[in-house]
Amino acid sequence: MSGFLSHVSYEFHAGIRNRALLLMNYLFPLGLYLILGGLMARLNPPFIETMIPAMIVIAILSGALLGLPSPLVAAREAGIFRSYRVNGVPALSILSVPTLTTVAHTAVVAVIIALTAPTLFGAPVTHSWGDLILVFGVTAFAVAGLGTLIGVISSTPSAAILWQQLVFLPSMMIGGLMVPSEMLPEPFGRIGRLLPATHAMNAFTGLAQGRATTVQPFASLAVLLAGGVVAFVLAAWLFRWDSSPAGRWRHPALALLALVPYAVALILAG
């Protein structure tokens, strides 16, 4: 088995063996799915219409945004990356393998949600499975890029949690997950366009569910794709093997450039 495949195999198993990752990959999104499915159907019946995409986006946010960064920070600070380095593990594997395995875990959760929500909660059946897979892949790529970038730039796990929450909480509130973006007050709707969740919900609704959207769903996909590429390029550039400073040209503040594709989308949308 090649080093990369062996690495993927280890990380995939670690995603189940490690309790914190098990919580973020499976327990939290599935638990929330069951609670929101039961609760929101009574409190906010229209939620059921967008329940499948919303819960899939929450699963992606949980696994890739809340689950990815802290292990990266902890591994770097504990000297695990140095051990990897002297044993020939490339930096690109360190960044890409957790992303791939997290996406794989999240895909399992997404399949469970997409298959059970119509039966359990009366959610509309997915219109196009191909588009669902496409939007899932692009959204996971974009969010995992942000998660990886947060893991790379954060000096401590606490700092990583702070950055995660700066994306996760607004995504939950104004990212179109609980309430459709078009129903939000105008300023909140506009700010929400800086979040991957908003674009993901638009793409899922337009493509996978075949419903009318205010923004072209492929435009949302393009923003997510650009956001993912920029975030991963920045993560590779800012990556450090240990806690020693990386130099002026690799200042962590450069990570803010990951918001550029979303900011451009916001400006273009007027």
For other proteins, the binding residues (CB under 8 A) are 1-3, 5-7, 10, 14, 17-18, 75, 78-80, 82-83, 85-89, 241
User: Is residue 67 within 8 Å of residue 25, measured between CB atoms?
Assistant: yes
Smallest distance from the beta carbon of 10 to other proteins, in angstroms? Answer: 6
Nearer to other proteins, 37 or 98 (CB): 98
Nearer to other proteins, 18 or 116 (CB): 18
Nearer to other proteins, 79 or 130 (CB): 79
Question: CB neighbours of 204 closer than 8 A, spacing ≥ 6?
Answer: 52, 53, 56, 57, 132, 135, 139
Smallest distance from the beta carbon of 8 to other proteins, in angstroms? Answer: 11
CA–CA gap between residue 48 and residue 38 (Å, rounded): 10
Nearer to other proteins, 188 or 241 (CB): 241
Nearer to other proteins, 226 or 246 (CB): 246
User: Is residue 261 within 8 Å of residue 222, measured between CB atoms?
Assistant: no
Nearer to other proteins, 89 or 134 (CB): 89
Question: CB neighbours of 123 closer than 8 A, spacing ≥ 6?
Answer: 37, 48, 49, 51, 52, 117
Smallest distance from the beta carbon of 160 to other proteins, in angstroms? Answer: 17
The H-or-E segment that residue 8 falls in is helix 3-17
How is residue 224 written in tokens? Answer: 């997510």
Smallest distance from the beta carbon of 41 to other proteins, in angstroms? Answer: 38
Supply the angle between the helices 157-174 and 129-153 in degrees, to the nearest 10: 140
Smallest distance from the beta carbon of 65 to other proteins, in angstroms? Answer: 21
Smallest distance from the beta carbon of 25 to other proteins, in angstroms? Answer: 14
Query: Amino acid identity of 210?
Result: G
**Number of DSSP helices (H) and strands (E) in the chain, helices first:** 13, 0
